[in-house]
Structure 1
Amino acid sequence: MIDLSADGHVHTAFSSGRDSVSVLVAAAEQAGLTELVFADRVGPDTSWLPPYLSSIQRAQQRTDVVLRRGVEVEAIGIDGWLAFPSDLSGLEVISVGLNRLPLAAGLLSPDAVRTQIESGAMRALDVIDQVVTVTGLAVERVSRYAPTRLARPLDFLIRAGIDEAAVPDAALAELVESLRANGTVVELSERHRLPGLRLVQACADAGVRLVAASDAVRASEVGAYRYVREIAAGVVGAAAAV
């Protein structure tokens, strides 16, 4: 169900990673991977996309590992608008992330949302609804430009102090349907240990594709899975029990 011979999300020294494209490719070869997806974080002011994409293209000529040219973009608007770079050409994959909560009044950090919930100024259920709504709108918008992936699903809620178990079944079903309808692939993040088995199983049941993702920032982390293997085993076990 989940291909562990691929790594669907790695970071290079162009952004938050420590190593070059070529070093990460060598690590992928050493790990016996067949596919590696680069997903450095970008924004409107990113100026290094051309050399980043060129580095991946040059590396592809020297390896049998399939290299995917991708980026991660943050959803920043209540309408699902994202912090796109000025030029999306040359990209094969776009991962959607949600690092701040878009509201009509602006963007709130997870810590700010946690404080608002603790003070009674916000309800956890309202935050959940907003995260699900914005995520659905964001993946629909990105899917117009390139094959879309969802990075670290529900990560914002966890960082804001809201456990995945607190997400109502209806909200989870709404999120999964948005992913299915827009052909969005869901990343299983080793680094962030997300999503949990409940969301993974719901995605699997709905036919939403799941990919292993180390979210590596160092070459030694490429294709190194523990949490992902545990989740994959849980999904297979659940399927066998049906």
Structure 2
Amino acid sequence: MIDLRRDAHVHTAYSAGHDSISVLVAAAEAAGLAELTFADRVGPDTGWLPSYLATIQRAQQRTDLTLKRGVEVEAIGVDGWLAFPSDLSGLEVISVGLSRLPMQSGLLGPEAIRNLIDRGTMRAEEVVERLVDVTCLAMERVSRYAPTTLARPLEFLAQAGIPESAVDDDAVGALVAACKTNGSAVELSERHRMPTRRLAKAFGEAGVRLLASSDAYSARDVGRWQYLGEVQGELAVAQAA
């Protein structure tokens, strides 16, 4: 159910990563991968995107691996609006991430949300509902421009100290439905161990495409799997049952 020969999300030195595109390609070759997707984080002020895309294109000419030109964008509006760069041309895939929760008052990080919950200003269930709504709307928006993947679904909740028990089956069902409606795949992140096994099983059983993602910031982590191997085994057992 998960093709571990394809790493769907790595970061380069163009953004938060430590290594060049060529070094990451060499690491992918050494790991026996068949495909590598670059997914550096971008925003409205990103100026290096043309150089980034051109460098990936040149690297493709020197390897038998399939290299995909992708980026990760952040949802920043309650309506699912994203921090898009000015030009999306040349991209083969866009990964949707969410590290802050868009509210009418602005973007709030996990610690700020935790404080609101502790003060009784917000309930955990309300945070879940808002997060799921924004994530679904963001996937719909991104799918208009390029094939979409969902990165680290609901990781924000764990960072805010909200237990998975606060995520009911309706919330999970809404995420699954949004992925299917928009043709979005879900990344299973080795680095972040997200989504949880429960979510991974729900996506897999619904036929949502699951992608192996190292979320590597350095070459040594490209195509290296432990958590994903465990999830793969559990999904195979569930499928056979």
Structure 1 window deviating more from structure 2 (156-165 vs 141-150): it is 156-165
Rounded to whole Å, the distance in 2 between the matches of 1:82 and 1:18 is: 25
Deviation at 1:205, TM superposition (A): 1.3
Stretches of structure 1 lacking an aligned partner (at least 5 in a row)? none
CA RMSD for the aligned pairs?
0.6
Give percent identity, aligned residues only. 65
Alignment partner, residue 42 of structure 2: 42
Deviation at 1:211, TM superposition (A): 0.4
Instruction: Please say if residues 154 and 164 of structure 1, whose CA atoms lie closer than 8 Å, have aligned partners that are also in contact.
Output: no
Instruction: Please say if residues 153 and 194 of structure 1, whose CA atoms lie closer than 8 Å, have aligned partners that are also in contact.
Output: yes
For normalisation by structure 1, the TM-score amounts to 0.99
Q: Matched residue of 1:63: which SS?
A: coil
Q: What letter corresponds to residue 104 of structure 1 in structure 2?
A: Q
Rounded to whole Å, the distance in 2 between the matches of 1:195 and 1:34 is: 23
Q: What letter corresponds to residue 3 of structure 2 in structure 1?
A: D
The answer to whether residue 147 in structure 2 is matched with residue 147 in structure 1 is: yes
Stretches of structure 2 lacking an aligned partner (at least 5 in a row)? none
Q: Matched residue of 2:173: which SS?
A: helix
Instruction: Please say if residues 38 and 71 of structure 1, whose CA atoms lie closer than 8 Å, have aligned partners that are also in contact.
Output: yes
Alignment partner, residue 171 of structure 1: 171
Give the 4+ runs in structure 1 shifted more than 3 A: none
Q: What letter corresponds to residue 61 of structure 2 in structure 1?
A: Q
Q: Give matches, 1:38-187, under 5 Å.
A: 38-187=38-187
Deviation at 1:121, TM superposition (A): 0.9
Alignment partner, residue 203 of structure 1: 203
Rounded to whole Å, the distance in 2 between the matches of 1:166 and 1:32 is: 39
Deviations 1:22-42 (A, max 9, x none): 000000000000000000000
Alignment partner, residue 31 of structure 1: 31
Question: What is the total number of aligned residue pairs between the two structures?
Answer: 241
Alignment partner, residue 9 of structure 2: 9
Q: Matched residue of 1:215: which SS?
A: coil
For normalisation by structure 2, the TM-score amounts to 0.99
Q: What letter corresponds to residue 92 of structure 1 in structure 2?
A: E
Rounded to whole Å, the distance in 2 between the matches of 1:15 and 1:136 is: 26
Rounded to whole Å, the distance in 1 between the matches of 2:141 and 2:164 is: 25
Deviations 1:162-200 (A, max 9, x none): 122320011111111111110010000000000011111
Rounded to whole Å, the distance in 2 between the matches of 1:182 and 1:165 is: 27
Deviation at 1:119, TM superposition (A): 1.2
Deviation at 1:105, TM superposition (A): 1.3
Q: What letter corresponds to residue 172 of structure 1 in structure 2?
A: V
Deviation at 1:20, TM superposition (A): 0.1
Rounded to whole Å, the distance in 2 between the matches of 1:8 and 1:165 is: 28
